[in-house]
Amino acid sequence: MRVATWNVNSIRSRVGRVVDWAMREDVDVLAMQEIKCTEAQFPFEAFSEAGYEVELHGLSQWNGVAIASRLPMTDVSIGFPSAPGFGKPLDDGTLPQEARAIGATVEGVRLWSLYVPNGRELDNPHYSYKLEWLANLATETRAWLTAQPDLPLALMGDFNIAPFDHDVWDIAAFAGKTHVSQPERDAFAALEAAGLTDALRSRGVEGYTYWDYQQLRFPRNEGMRIDFILGSRAFDALVTDARIIREERKGDAPSDHVPVVVDLALDVEDDDDRPMFL
């Protein structure tokens, strides 16, 4: 089973490119972030014609996460229970939930598509929100794996954290900024301490996953590694290959992120009704 994650930076703008890539690369399950649309606006038809079912969590033109699968999805979860909210309090005093997490089980593997808050600036309330969001996610992860130690579980998506200095093109350029601060890196480490392993780094796969559109960042390879697949022990044992698809940052109207892919040693039945593309 081939599983991938990709911050698509607006699925309506890039649906053709995303679906074409998923079919060309024979992807079974694709976690997407920053879909930037509601359910009513999502281009389901293009995915359906390609043989994919889609589950999503999208509230507005911002954020949004989805999972597209050509294998059956079960136990779909919108958000995780302890996820904090952000913004202007609602009438009941609670903070509104952003569309940042969706989970589903495919062939016994529990997969989450996550879009971690950006943080904005170190003194911005969004930064505190980011750290709380990550801390609560780590608590949830520990609980999931305590209840099911042998669960193949993966947290996939845009974590908006570069865990090591070499995960950015020039650490000096990030002095006093988010994504590289120690509290953020500690929060990322807490996820690993909860029982998760970076499926790519543990296999020696290095490289950036994001290049800003500004200032010729991609041609100069001034990128960041902020997109990850973090898997439980049982998930990691299934991984047979892992890679970053750098080529997808090229061409017409690319996302500023590229796909991250893992292959799992799971035998799945071929669907004879799956559309054929030449």
pTM: 0.95
CATH code reported for the domain at 2-264: 3.60.10.10
Count the helices and strands in the chain (H runs, E runs).
Answer: 5, 12
Q: Decide: 151 and 234 in contact? Cβ < 8 Å.
A: yes
Q: Which pLDDT does position 272 carry in this prediction? A: 47
d(CA 112, CA 78): 10
Helix, strand, coil shares of the chain, percent, nearest 5, are: 30, 25, 45
Outline where DSSP puts E strands in the chain: 2-7, 29-33, 53-57, 65-69, 74-78, 101-106, 109-115, 153-158, 197-198, 227-231, 239-244, 260-264
Q: What single DSSP character describes residue 97? A: P
Sheet of strand 153-158: strand arrangement: 74-78, 101-106, 109-115, 153-158, 227-231, 197-198
CA distance 198 to 209: 14
* Strand, coil or helix: 106: strand
Give the pLDDT of residue 61: 79
Q: Find the DSSP H helices in 61-162.
A: 125-147
pLDDT tens string, the chain, 278 residues long: the values are 999 999 999 999 999 999 999 999 999 999 999 999 999 999 999 999 999 999 999 987 789 999 999 999 999 999 999 999 999 999 999 999 999 999 999 999 999 999 999 999 999 999 999 999 999 999 999 999 999 999 999 999 999 999 999 999 999 999 999 999 999 999 999 999 999 999 999 999 999 999 999 989 999 999 999 999 999 999 999 999 999 999 999 999 999 999 999 999 997 765 544 444 33
Quick check: 109 and 235 in contact, CB under 8 A? Answer: yes
Predicted pLDDT at 269: 66
- pLDDT for 62: 86
What are the structural domain ranges in the chain?
2-264
CA distance 23 to 142: 34
pLDDT at residue number 270: 55
Angle between helices 125-147 and 182-193 (to 10 degrees): 10
